[in-house]
Amino acid sequence: MHTIDQLNASFAIPGILAFDEHGELIRGRITTPACSGELYLQGAHVTAWQPANEEPVLFLSEKSAFTVCKAIRGGIPIIFPWFGARTATPDSPRTDCPSHGFARIQPWQLDFGAYAAEELHLSLSLEPTELSRSLGFDNFLLAYQITFGRELRLRLSIANDGTEPMRVEEALHTYLHVGDIEQARVHGLYEAEYLDKTNKFARKTQTEPILTFNGVTDRPYVNTTSPVVVDDPGLRRRITVKKANSNTTVVWNPWTDSGLADMSGNGWRRMLCIESGNAAENAITLRPKEAHVLETSISLEALA
Ligand code: TA6
């Protein structure tokens, strides 16, 4: 793994990209005419993206930890190779595994950084680690491309580097910053089926054309490829989340008493997770040497 000095020597771009330490973690700070942003090498975790003259688009809990092997609360955690709690299978009976997999708590390698046309392009990768091997994963390769600009574009590539099929779940677990969750309105999931995690994953269909929030909402929507649009009267803006090669969209707000120690007091009111991925019945199985590329982009416009 690169040290901060090596990262600055190899990848820093004057006035655009520089690396420092925050808590126990290495952080990259981005400032371009188009946007500002932040990324941690642990988990290749984007924690901030803010187009010029706009409010922050990603929510980051003031109480988040920035410690080794602990997930950051907010931003865009990368969920791999399982979503939520690991389900025991004959080949892997273990259930004492990190929630949402290991990718978000492992140090990624920065491989590429370039600035062009007011966009900063970064590529990072993750290969098997001691932790992933101890959890039975030693034949994968992950690559992650991030483009910071007027919009944020993300590409997560997963490759099966082994000789056996590999079944995995994945998600870009985006925490959007909203003015007030009680005013937020979500378009794009009408008549889509979801598993209601607040009710034993009961299978339901969204009957209301527009999703609004008045309590805990925790729904992996399955077999949906449509973009999701979040209208946020609180910040007078519309956030559009587009995606490719993703059949699952997870919508989450923990509401008042989440019991999450790293969630700030009224954080629940200012966050909404819209996650692009492939989970549950949409999990993907990669044949040996096969790869899969999940893409998502986030863009902003003023709310009319
Ligand atoms: O994506 C929604 C969800 O699966 C919720 O059920 C909740 O657990 C959330 O993720 C956060 O999970 P974490 O492991 O980061 O506390």
Residue 90 pLDDT greater than 80, yes or no:
no
Report pLDDT for 87: 76
Average pLDDT, the chain: 96
Nearest Cα residue to 75 out of 37, 18, 126, 28: 37
Tens digit of pLDDT for each residue in 107-141? 999 999 999 999 999 999 999 999 999 999 999 99
CB 276 within 8 A of CB 174: yes
Percent of the chain residues topping a pLDDT of 70: 98
pLDDT at 264 over 90: no
CB-count exposure of residue 96 (10 Å: 0-12, 13-18, 19+):
exposed
| Residue having the nearest C-alpha atom to atom 11 of ligand 1 | 84
Quick check: 93 pLDDT over 80? no
State the pLDDT at residue 26. Answer: 98
Whole-number pLDDT of residue 95? 67
For the Cβ of 252 lying below 6 angstroms from any atom of ligand 1, the answer is yes
CA-CA-CA-CA torsion sign (275, 140, 38, 35) = negative
Assess whether the C-beta atom of 173 lies below 6 angstroms from ligand 1: yes
Instruction: Write the pLDDT tens digit of every residue in 215-241.
Output: 999 999 999 999 999 999 999 999 999
Cα 33 to Cα 16, 51, 118: the distances in Å are 9, 9, 7
Smallest CA separation from ligand 1 atom 13, residue: 99
Q: Tell me the best of 59, 76, 86, 100 to mutate to test the pocket of ligand 1, counting ligand atoms within 8 Å of each CB and taking the most.
A: 100
pLDDT digits (tens, 9 = 90+) for 167-180: 999 999 999 999 99
User: Do 39 and 17 touch, CB atoms closer than 8 A?
Assistant: no
Ligand 1 pocket residue status of 204, Cβ below 6 Å: no
Q: Quick check: CB of 99 below 6 Å from ligand 1? A: yes
Entry pTM: 0.98
Q: Which atom of ligand 1 is nearest to the CA of 197?
A: 6
User: To the nearest whole percent, how much of the chain has pLDDT over 90?
Assistant: 94
Phi, psi dihedrals of residue 99, rounded to the nearest 5° = -55, 135
Regarding the beta carbon of 292 and ligand 1, being less than 6 Å apart is answered no
| Separation of CA 67 and ligand 1 centre (Å) | 18
Residue 171 CA, closest ligand 1 atom number: 1
